[in-house]
Every structure is written in structure tokens, then in C-alpha cells.
Amino acid sequence: MRTGKLLVLTLLLCLLSCMPLHSEAKEAVILDTDMVDLFDDGVAMLMLAKSPQIDLLGVTIVIGNTWVETGTASAIRQLEGINRLDIPVAVGLNRLTRAGRIEHMATEKKMFGRGADPHLGAAGYPEPTSWQAAYRANYHAEPKGQPVNEHGVDFLIRNIKARPHEITIVSIGTSANLAAAIRRAPEIVPLVKRVVYMGGAFFQQGNVMPAAEFNFWFDPEAARTALRAPFKEQIIFPLDVCEKIHFTAARYQEVKSHLRNPLFQEMFAHHWTKAAFDQDKNYYTFVWDVLTAAMLADPTLVTEARSYPVDVDTTYGPSYGQSLAFRGYGPEGTQTAKIVFSVDQDKLWKMIDNLCESL
Ligand code: BDR
Ligand code: CA
């Protein structure tokens, strides 16, 4: 009897030792975004929402590409498209750190150099009266979902505190929400697992300005606050990697052929890239933010990355918003971030095609 019990116990112990100590936990992610339809913020959100490796805890909307009313409408519309209205959308900041700047952005561009890309984001069109008005205007329908009744900055702070050391923040718009969360509750900084950004242009020219990339230029002070916070880990996908991947007319057709869901087919048919490719078949653009989500879904995507102390120039002038990487030590207060320089492009496009099939 005793021998029998011992045998059972030994067998049980053997079985337990063969099992992983804990089941492969999903990565908890909050997406902080200046949301647009599909490429690029939308595809990043859809990829995170669909990835079996990721638990998308919520989407916080920030000004940048779009006013938060437009971004909120777009996030709700796309989550409706994949039946994931359970993912909370929290409306965040609609203003920049430098008060009154948004009204002068066009002038600022003229003063300090125009950049290769004329994009002005929210500064290029009037603020919608509400997110519902933006939804009706853009989709000619009534929204089925709605944002949660909590500000995006509060959403970030509350969730980070509730799950210390577990949450990855994916920052693919301006850093206004993130910087406000850091200022209001600095105790959250050591509790964040890591921050993954799309932003900056470190060893190459900018896009919307000669020296600056859009996300960091739109609110340089906020980007500086975020990058200087002593997070455990910061990973940046700047233009240095994003502009190596060309979104061409052929790629547009390829993506289109993989879309099955009528809501996204319709969205893609009206996407701004369609008009650009119709006008010039040799035109190409980029998929920026999608890289951050793809890396989280499959970390083997990244083929080259190096660590540098980083910063953002906040001197008002031609280098306003320029991202800086220092080859040795950085100025007092700077932190080290991992900058991504190359990804496996075939893998990335396969992931995008598979995502489109699955929508
Ligand atoms: C970045 O700016 C935004 O327009 C894109 O969504 C991306 O996050 C590229 O500079
Ligand atoms: Ca973006």
C-alpha cells in the first residue's frame, strides 16, 4: 500500500516537473494611438487584437494624425468590424504641451523647413464637434460601440498600477497621454514592463520636417518627457527602420486581395493610399506603426537593433522635435533605448496578409 502511494506520488512529481512552471502568459498591452483607418495605426490595433500572444487591455486615443474625436470614431468602427467591442477605448488628450501651438503648425513648417511630407495631422483640418459626429461623417452609419467613461490618461495610470511589471505600452502617436500620466503619477514608471514607440528619425532625415519625424515633432516636449522617464525598457521603431519597407501600388493590390471582411474592404477602397497610387503608380509610402505590433506578435521579426542614450530636441527652431541618439554617454537625465534598424520584411508582409485574411 505504502509502495503504491509512493509510486503515485513519484509519478505525479514527474508529471509536474515535465510541465512548464506557468502557462505561456499572454503579453498585456495598452495601445496609445492617434488612430486612423487601417494603415497604419488601425492595422497595428487589429494585429494586437487578433494576436494569440497578446492581451490587448485597451486603446487610449491621443491627438496627432487625427483629433481624438476622429481617432475614437475610427477605433470604435474597426473594433466593431472584428466584433471586439469588449476592448475598451478611452479618449485621451486633444492638446499639446506647448499651448497654442497647433494653430501655428503650418507657419512653423514654413519657418523651419517644410519636410518631404506635407502631413499636418489634426492641425490640417477642423476639430469635429464630437466623436459621434466624426463617426457619422466618415462611415455614414450610427456607432454600435462607445468609448469608456474614463479619461485615457487615467486609464493608463489605473491599469499600470493594477498590474505592476506586466504591461507593455505601445505608443504610436504623440506622447501627450504618456507624458501626462508620468507627470501626474510618476510612481507608475517603474511599474511598466516596457514602452514600445514608433517615433523619431535618428540617423537619417525626418519626414514632416527636415530633421524631425511626425510623432515626436507633434509634441516634442511630451516625447522628451516619455523618453527621459526611467522605464525598465524602451524600444523605438524610428524612420530609420520604417522607411526601409515600401508600401507600393503592388502591395496595395496584394493587401486588397487578402481582405474578406466587407467593412474593411470598404475602408481600404477609400484609404488615402488608393488615391495616391491612382495618381502615380510609382508612388510608395510606409507602414510605420504596424512594425511595433508585428514585433510584439513575433519578436523574431527584428533582425537588427542597438542601444543608445536617446533624447528629443525641444529648442524652438529648425531642430524642434528632432530625435537624438548619442554614441557614448547621453546628457544628464537621458535614458537608454533600444533602436530597431532592420526587420524581416517578408515575415512582416506575410503577417499583414494573414491578418487581412483573418479580419
Ligand atoms: C507616424 O506618424 C503618423 O502619421 C503615423 O501613424 C506614424 O505613427 C509616422 O511618422
Ligand atoms: Ca500613428
**269 pLDDT more than 80:** yes
Instruction: To the nearest 10°, report the CA torsion of 313, 315, 316, 322.
Output: -20
Return d(Cα 327, Cα 26) in angstroms, integer: 35
Best residue among 35, 41, 61 to mutate for probing ligand 1's pocket (most ligand atoms within 8 Å of CB) is: 41
Q: Which of 267, 298, 295 is nearest to 82 (CA)?
A: 267
Atom of ligand 1 nearest to the CA of 289: 8
The pLDDT, as a whole number, for residue 13 is 45
Q: How many CA atoms lie within 13 A of 317 on its CB side?
A: 3
pLDDT at residue 14 greater than cutoff 90? no
Residue-level pLDDT at 9:
47
End-to-end CA distance of the chain: 58
User: 120, 208, 215: which to mutate for ligand 1, most atoms within 8 A of CB?
Assistant: 215
Q: How far is the CA of 215 from the centre of ligand 1 (A)?
A: 6
Residues of the chain above pLDDT 90, percent: 88
Q: Is the bond into 55 cis (omega within 30 degrees of 0)?
A: no
Task: Identify the pLDDT of residue 17.
Answer: 42
Residues belonging to the chain:
359
Listed in sequence order, the residues at least 6 apart from 252 whose beta carbon sits closer than 8 Å to its beta carbon are: 273, 274, 277
Query: Mean of the pLDDT values across residues 259-285?
Result: 94
Please tell me the distance between residue 251's alpha carbon and the centre of ligand 1 in angstroms.
19
- H or E element at residue 3: helix 2-18
Q: Encode pLDDT of 323-341 as tens digits.
A: 999 999 999 999 999 999 9
**Which of these, 340, 310, 122, lies nearest to 218 by C-alpha position?**
122
Query: Among all ligands shown, which has an atom nearest to the Cα of 218?
Result: 1
Ligand 1 centroid to 263 CA: how many Å? 23
Residues 6+ apart with CB under 8 A from 49: 56, 79, 82, 84, 87
- Mind listing the domains of the chain with CATH numbers? 26-245+286-358 (3.90.245.10)
Task: Record the cell numbers describing residue 61, joined without a space.
Answer: 486615443
Contact 248, 284 (CB under 8 A): yes
Q: Is the CB of 37 under 6 A from ligand 1?
A: no
Looking at residue 20, its pLDDT comes to 39
Tens of pLDDT, residues 77-97: 999 999 999 999 999 999 999
- pLDDT given for residue 118 in this prediction: 83
Ligand with smallest separation from the Cα of 39: 1
* CB 292 near ligand 1, within 6 Å: no
What is the 231 CA–ligand 1 centroid distance (Å)?
Answer: 23
More confident residue, 108 or 157: 157
* CB-CB neighbours of 238 under 10 Å: 27
Q: What's the grid cell of residue 18?
A: 515535465
Say yes or no: CB of residue 97 within 6 Å of ligand 1.
Answer: no
With a cut of 70, say whether residue 100 has pLDDT above it.
yes
Residue 298, C-beta contacts closer than 8 angstroms, at least 6 positions apart: 53, 347, 351
- Ligand 1 atom closest to Cα of residue 214: 10
Band of the pLDDT at 5, cuts 50, 70, 90? low
Question: 198 CB less than 6 Å from ligand 1?
Answer: yes
Torsion over CA: 43, 49, 55, 61 (sign): positive
Pick the more confident residue, 172 or 15. Answer: 172
Q: Which of 157, 159, 162 is nearest to 182 (CA)?
A: 157
Tell me if 41 CB under 6 Å of ligand 1.
Answer: yes
pLDDT digits (tens, 9 = 90+) for 140-199: 999 999 999 999 999 999 999 999 999 999 999 999 999 999 999 999 999 999 999 999
Q: What percent of the chain has pLDDT over 70?
A: 93
pTM of the model as a whole: 0.93
Quote the mean pLDDT of the chain. Answer: 93
Nearest atom (ligand 1) to Cα of 173 = 8
- Judged against a pLDDT cut of 80, whether residue 115 lies above it is answered with no
Ligand 1 within 6 A of 216 CB? no
Q: Which of 210, 216, 218 is nearest to 237 (CA)?
A: 216
pLDDT at 228 over 80: yes
Decide which of 6 and 292 is more confident. Answer: 292
pLDDT value at position 322?
98
Ligand 1 centroid vs 39 CA: distance in angstroms? 10
Q: Is the CB of 214 under 6 A from ligand 1?
A: yes
Q: How far is CA 76 from the centre of its chain?
A: 16
Phi/psi region, residue 200 (left: phi>0; alpha: psi -120 to 50; beta: rest), is left
How many angstroms does the Cα of residue 19 sit away from the middle of ligand 2?
41
- Answer whether residue 4 shows pLDDT above 80: no
Residue 189 is classified by DSSP as G
State how far the alpha carbon of 301 is from the alpha carbons of 297, 306, 350, in Å: 9, 15, 11
Residue 8: predicted pLDDT:
47
Of all atoms in ligand 1, which is nearest to the CA of residue 218? 2
In short, whether 286's Cβ falls inside 6 Å of ligand 1 is no
Coil, strand or helix at 32: strand
The residues, ordered by sequence, that sit 6+ positions from 216 with a Cβ below 8 Å of its Cβ are 175, 199, 200, 223, 312, 321, 322, 323
Decide whether any atom of ligand 1 lies within 6 Å of the 39 Cβ: no
Alpha-carbon torsion 152, 158, 161, 162, what sign? negative
